[in-house]
């Protein structure tokens, strides 16, 4: 039987990597900066029922801290300092034309998130550990109600990909390629923290254009699309 309702949450934490991705949400909810856990920057609404934690900037290169290292730290800070009931990882990502993705689509994680750049060819569980396959919340109700696409989300620390990466993504039935969800999901799995992810498509992984070119061209459009869907989901889930 299809899920009819969703559980309400008293505190939701949005974990994001890039300032440009977060700005539309910060403006919509009128969030204010409440803390810095170097380098993590924390925004919140008046009663702190909604938090937004950014990975912050690299002090040497003055760029957003993207990738799994910063995402892991962000999740640790969120859980240990703010005890959210739910963590939503929100950001931009690559989609697959073979899976029906188009620029500006917003996906919600389905079934699992995993890695596609961790290859540990050792016995006794190391290969499964490398892939991760971390579970996420059932997204069927939210996807149906808010016209979100669903799919497996896969993470790495590279904007591009190798042939081996592509094979691993195909093996895992990946619909969305990005750089943080699986790292956050790993931390959430350790703390038994409810988790899911929403990703807006900036580029087509199996398309004809270079990833970086498409990402830069479509970043603003995707960030606005992300904001629209995240607002719907948050307003549905927040108590």
Q: Which residues have a catalytic role annotated?
A: 21, 203
DSSP 74-129: HHHHHHHHH--SEEEEEEEEEE-GGGT--TT-EEEEEEEEEESS-----TTTHHHH
Residue appearing with tokens 């924390």: 42
Q: How many CA atoms lie within 13 A of 188 on its CB side?
A: 30
Angle of the 19-29 helix axis to the 211-237 helix axis, nearest 10 = 30
SS3 label, residue 177: strand
Nearest Cα to Cα of residue 98 among 177, 175, 210, 178: 175
SS3 label, residue 4: coil
Residue 20 gets which letter from DSSP?
H
Q: Cβ of 189: how many Cβ atoms within 10 Å?
A: 14
| Alpha helices, DSSP H, located in the chain | 19-29, 68-82, 126-131, 140-146, 163-171, 181-191, 211-237
Nearest Cα to Cα of residue 77 among 170, 191, 155: 191
């Amino acid at each position: 039987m299809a899920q009819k309702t969703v559980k309400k949450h008293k505190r939701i934490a949005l974990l994001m990597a890039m300032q440009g991705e977060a700005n539309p949400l910060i403006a919509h909810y009128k969030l204010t900066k409440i803390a810095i856990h170097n380098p993590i920057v924390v925004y919140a609404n008046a009663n702190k029922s909604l938090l937004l934690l950014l990975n912050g900037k690299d002090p040497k290169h003055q760029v957003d801290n993207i990738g799994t290292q910063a995402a892991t730290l962000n999740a640790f800070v969120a859980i240990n300092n703010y005890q959210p009931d739910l963590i939503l990882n929100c950001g931009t990502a690559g989609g697959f034309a073979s899976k029906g993705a188009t620029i500006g689509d917003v996906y919600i994680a389905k079934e699992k998130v995993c890695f596609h750049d961790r290859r540990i060819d050792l016995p006794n569980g190391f290969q499964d550990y490398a892939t991760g396959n971390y579970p996420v919340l059932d997204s069927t109700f939210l996807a149906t109600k808010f016209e979100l696409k669903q799919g497996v989300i896969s993470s790495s620390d590279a904007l591009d990909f190798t042939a081996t990466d592509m094979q691993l993504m195909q093996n895992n039935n990946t619909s969305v390629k990005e750089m943080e969800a699986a790292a956050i999901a790993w931390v959430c799995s350790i703390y038994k923290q409810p988790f899911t992810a929403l990703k807006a498509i900036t580029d087509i992984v199996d398309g004809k254009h270079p990833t970086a070119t498409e990402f830069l061209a479509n970043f603003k459009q995707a960030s606005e699309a992300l904001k629209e869907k995240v607002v719907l989901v948050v307003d549905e889930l927040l108590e």
